[in-house]
Structure 1
Amino acid sequence: MECSSFGATDPGRVRENNEDAHLVDAGLSLFMVCDGMGGHAAGEVASSTAIRVVRDHLTRNIALLEHYRSTPTPSAAGEVRDLLVRAVSDACARIHRMAQENAARRGMGTTLSLLLLIRRRAFIAHVGDSRIYLLRQDNLHQLTEDHSLVNELLKRGQLTAEEINDLPIKNALTRAVGVYELVEVDVNDFGVLPDDRFLLCSDGLHGYFDGIAAAKALMRADDLRSVPHHCIDFANRGGGRDNITAIVVGLKNLADDQHSRQFRTFLPLLSELEFFQNLTYKELMRVADLASAKTSREGEVVQKTGMEPALNVVVTGSVLVRHGTDVVARILPGRYFGLLQVVTSASIELDYVAEQNTQLLRITKKDLLNVLSQDSRLAAKMLWNITQVLALRSQLGVDLGEAENQGHRLIPLLLNRSSEVTASVAVEKKTLEPPQSPPRQERAPRQVVDLTDDAKLIEATGVTTRHPLEPAQTQEIAGKKDLLTENAQAEPRAEASKRRDAFAKLRSMLENDAEKTAAEEPLPDPAPDGAPSRKLRAGRMGERHAPGSPEEKTERMVSPYNDEDH
């Protein structure tokens, strides 16, 4: 696979030194952007060290990359992903060790965004808030997720987009290479298509993107060599508050083979199915990679009991559902069958037969579950969507087996589709102007926030949904964090002691009451319809205390169970 690649970096209009580093290695088809952090030139050391260590690690393991080049199997792709994780982890440990050996470099670290191209496949490794974009068929997709405090608060609903500018530490990271000895690395891989273009950049550039229009226009340039320089000029016109780095990679001479044509067909079909709603483009690509095309002749059995369970989508033609000799349903293009057999162990005594020459999109249960076991976020989204599908079928009174057999699409727009899938923004042909900002205002030094106890940390530092941290409060953060550490050790001990005392008292009370009343007092009558019917563990067996009474409050305090656990 041939590609053209160009990169450039610039310190910007405010900073004198450049803590960014980048790599364009045409021989390995390896591209990296790193944005360092740390005083006394430590950021420059961290970013350049990360580039060198990762490249050296991959060079030493070139045989593994060549194995995938000659044998592009799913297991070989997994070995490449594991290699990237080890390479970044090696760089992380090296930078952390260097910082421990030199007090002036303590706390130094770097972001890292990496693109590796092998055959017709792209591999990505990512830590921090540098980014990788994909321009495909005139649609722009962000392939990486920012590991930043702002993005974390946005995902949790504790911050709105309008409140971002009020945050005093909006450039804080939640992950970086080298700040700690270990780091979690996001890795991903997917098939590439003819004319794909990639942009790798530091936040000194994408910080000036207002939506996707500017990035699309920059990446669309006919002259690929000019793209990095146009990106730098764009960011400097916006103020150039940070170092700016951009790498553009364009595929060339890539044949439009059967895989590419199938992929372009499969992706829109999958995005229309209700259980794939709200998946990002990156997640949809991963699911589409699992799909295979199956062409069946008229009268051929395409699915029946005993065959490997699979989700099937009719692309062209039609499928008859037979029970014995009876035809119970017809499945038309755009509809599916096999969902229940994939998500459960259900066995339905039905035969699915091609009514005419039919093309199917097919994802086996084994392949789908394998991917879901590797990607917890994708699994959570899909399982939530499937739950909604089955719940709606139940509410409509539709028999699940019947609905499955007929391939009904009961909720074609169950959830809003991801904006990443359908984003298409018209860009006027004029000089792009980034959002303006004071040219001499340098951003605050970067921090890495430990989210191990993030809820308490966010609350303690004042970064909440409606109460952003005031500048005057920033000096109190360190003291509050120390206080949290002390309290975190004392609170669990105190709570555990209270709980033990309460349960001991409760056990004694129950034992005494049981001895007195077990043979004498009948159980109370059941509560009438509409009245609360609780069985509390505080007090005599079966006794119901009035809501708000001291006994009821005691039960709520000491019982570790819900009301109807027993």
Structure 2
Amino acid sequence: MSGLSPVVSLMHGPRSFTPPDGEPCKAFGGLRNVRSNPSESRESAALALTTEAFGLTDVGRKRQHNEDAMLVDPALGLYIVADGMGGHAAGEVASARATEAVKQHIAANKHLLKDLASNPSQDSRAAAAALMEVAIQRACADIYRMAMADATKRGMGTTFVCLALSGNKGVIGHVGDSRVYLVRHGQCHRLTEDHTLVAAQLKAGTITKEQAASSQYRNVITRAVGIQESVQVDTLIVELAPGDVFILCSDGLHGYLEDEEMLPMVAGVAIADLPKRLIETANERGGKDNITAVVVKVAGDGAVASEETSEAQSRMEALRKIPLFRHLTYKEQTAVLSIATTRTFPAGREIVVEGQPGEELFVVIRGRVVIEKNGVEIAELRAGGHFGEMGLIDNAPRSATVRATEPTRTMVIARPDLMSLMKRESILAVKMLWSFVQVLSDRLRATNSELSEARQELAVAQAIQPFAEE
């Protein structure tokens, strides 16, 4: 596909790729390699974040042609993997069309991603997530219309994963069983859930992991772009930190790798060599499908990047320690963080006031606060401490006043935003409600224990009162 920029590359099928300057791309054994030079967007410059990206696709050892497509576009901050399906090369058409349609829509509305980077409010988050969803929905409608107009392409469709970066934020869009992994701080997390029959059975608890591995339905997908005129799209907003490595891949890769194998595969390998290593592993283990991998590494430069890394890590660690969120997976915790905002309070400022209604949970990221009841200081909270969680349940009056005693930065989760997330994510909602019950149960036990102790003290006081009168 000549005429493409060496850092903006749409790849699909068995075609060769030559950059416009005449330099042939790195190729070996039927693999096609797309690499980007390190780039720094205007938004990320303020945060000293840079990205490097490399992509590779291969036909595999069993297929005759490649129906996967990928996009590596660091200038736009857009990375895509699509795995097409359908006879008569229709899968190749579907994956290519989806990739191009999403690229066009996001490029035309890039300002929404810039807004997210410069002003990460609830409105800008919602707009960025909607941008991703609408882009994929437009691609879905395009492919469906193409199939309806050409009988040889009826039933064509594609899985789709997309990562759009801007500043220190990333927006993920996902349909089907292609995946996005995040390697961070020595751990590997899957940020997408497969839309397959087996995954649905696992979630419902009707089969075990062992049964899923051997199920004849493990490759049956329940969502795809283009099979129908519209599709349900999963979106997720993530905070970026220096050292993050994102891996986007088709099932031709992850079908041969367990999640726990991904981390050792990444460790000790130069980012430029990682797609090749991943694809070679899949081929060595069978290579029955097309294989595509796109890797994106986030790097940092300077104290600002270090500060961003520290805060992102502090936010996640603090969230994990809050009982209300203890049952959530990493992906679900990331979804909760995506609705959180940050607020900074000067020393002496009241954050919440006793007796006033409130519907927000506060988590101290940096600084120190004191809790006062009836004008008396009863507790002090530092980084990692939280208060106001009962406001997530109802809009009842605050039971105490919380005041910053030094400049304090907090993470804030509002009840309406959490309720909206729970409506969209039913499994997360069940876990949250179960945690609510456990928290209330713990508080009830503590209250009963305190009442019991108070009764005993009262009984003792009443028993010795006559002697005191004498």
Normalised by the shorter chain, which TM-score bucket?
0.7 to 0.9
Cα 1:395/1:67, change in 2 over 3 Å: closer
Which residue identity does 1:343 align to in structure 2?
A: I
Tell me how far apart the structure 1 counterparts of residues 397 and 120 of structure 2 sit (CA, whole Å): 34
Match of 1:173 among 218, 221, 233: 221
Q: Deviations over 1:114-148 (max 9, x none)?
A: 01111111011000000001111111111111001
Indicate how the Cα distance of structure 1 residues 112 and 138 shifts in structure 2: closer, same or farther if over 3 A, else same: same
Q: Out of 368, 373, 376, which is 1:322 matched to?
A: 373
Show the counterpart of 2:410. 361
| In the alignment, structure 1 residue 100 sits paired with structure 2 residue 151 | no
1:245 corresponds to 2:324:
no
2:248 pairs with one of 200, 221, 225:
200
| Map of 2:13 onto structure 1 | none
Q: Which residue of 242, 253, 256 maps to 2:305?
A: 256
**Corresponding position of 1:5:** 53
In 2: Cα distance, 1:63 partner to 1:39 partner: 38
Task: Give unpaired runs (5+ residues) of structure 1.
Answer: 402-566
The answer to whether the Cα contact below 8 Å between 1:314 and 1:359 also exists between their aligned partners in 2 is yes
Q: Return the letter of the residue paired with 2:128.
A: V
Question: 1:4/1:163 Cα in 2 relative to 1: closer, same or farther (>3 Å)?
Answer: same
Paired letter, 1:277? R
Which residue pairs with 2:432 in the alignment?
A: 382
Which amino acid in 1 is paired with 2:102?
Answer: V
Contact 1:263 1:288 in 2 (8 A): no
Aligned to 1:391: 441
CA pair 38-362 structure 1, distance change in 2 beyond 3 A: closer
Deviations 1:403-431 (A, max 9, x none): xxxxxxxxxxxxxxxxxxxxxxxxxxxxx
Distance 2:248 2:167 in 1: 20
SS of 1:111's equivalent? strand
**2:77·2:165 contact (CA, 8 Å) conserved in 1?**
yes
In structure 2, what is the Cα distance between the partners aligned to 1:87 and 1:317?
43
CA distance in 1, matches of 2:117, 2:337: 21
Give the aligned residue type for 1:34: A
| 1:114 alignment counterpart | 162
2:273 maps to 1:226:
yes
Asked if the contact 1:20–1:35 (Cα under 8 Å) also holds between the matched residues in 2, the reply is yes
What letter is aligned with 2:297?
G
In 1: Cα distance, 2:379 partner to 2:109 partner: 53
Match for residue 129 of structure 2? Answer: 81
Judge conservation of contact 1:197–1:249 (CA < 8 Å) in 2: yes
- Deviation of residue 111 (structure 1)? 0.1
| Matches of 2:417 and 2:448, distance apart in 1 | 26
Aligned length: 396
Closer/same/farther in 2, CA of residues 91 and 353 from structure 1, 3 Å limit: closer
Match of 2:393 in 1: 343
**1:308–1:364 Cα contact (<8 Å) kept:** no
Would you say the 8 A contact 1:199–1:246 is kept in 2? yes
Matched-pair contact (CA < 8 Å) for 1:296–1:302: no
- The amino acid that maps onto 1:372 is L
Q: Take 2:119 and 2:368, find their aligned partners in 1: how far apart are those partners?
A: 34
Tell me which residue corresponds to 1:191: 239
Deviation (angstroms), 1:67: 4.8
Residue 148 of structure 1: aligned partner: 196
The range that moved more, 192-201 or 313-322, is 313-322
Question: How much does 1:36 deviate?
Answer: 0.9
For 1:339, the aligned partner's letter is E
Tell me which moved more, 225-234 or 78-87: 78-87
TM-score, scaled relative to structure 2: 0.77
Question: Which residue of 2 is the match for residue 273 of structure 1?
Answer: 322
- What SS does the aligned partner of 1:256 have? helix
3-state SS, counterpart of residue 297 of structure 2: strand
TM-score w.r.t. structure 1 length?
0.64
> In the alignment, which of 75, 98, 104 is matched to residue 50 of structure 1?
98
**Cα offset, 1:390, TM superposition:** 0.6
- Secondary structure at 2:259 match in 1: coil
For residue 311 of structure 1, the aligned residue among 361, 375, 384 is 361
Taking the TM superposition and a 5 Å limit, the aligned residue runs for 1:438-457 are none
Q: Please say if residues 21 and 35 of structure 1, whose CA atoms lie closer than 8 Å, have aligned partners that are also in contact.
A: yes
Counterpart among 138, 160, 171 of residue 123 in structure 1: 171
Question: Quick one: structure 1 residues 98 and 379, their matched pair in 2 at CA, closer, same or farther if it must change by over 3 Å?
Answer: same
Q: Could you tell me how far 1:19 is from its partner in structure 2?
A: 1.1
User: Shift of residue 156 of structure 1?
Assistant: 0.6
TM-superposition CA deviations, 1:93-132 (whole Å, max 9, x none) = 1111222222222211110000111111101100000000
Aligned counterparts of 1:295 and 1:36: Cα–Cα separation in 2: 51
Match of 2:210 among 162, 165, 171: 162
Deviations 1:508-566 (A, max 9, x none): xxxxxxxxxxxxxxxxxxxxxxxxxxxxxxxxxxxxxxxxxxxxxxxxxxxxxxxxxxx
Structure 1 residues 337-381: Cα deviation after superposition (integer angstroms, max 9, x where no partner): 322233212224533345x54846342535644653664333443
- In 2, distance between residues paired with 1:259 and 1:399? 43
The structure-2 alpha-carbon separation of the partners of 1:273 and 1:13, relative to structure 1 and needing over 3 Å to count, comes to same
Equivalent residues in 2 for 1:460-499, closer than 5 Å: none
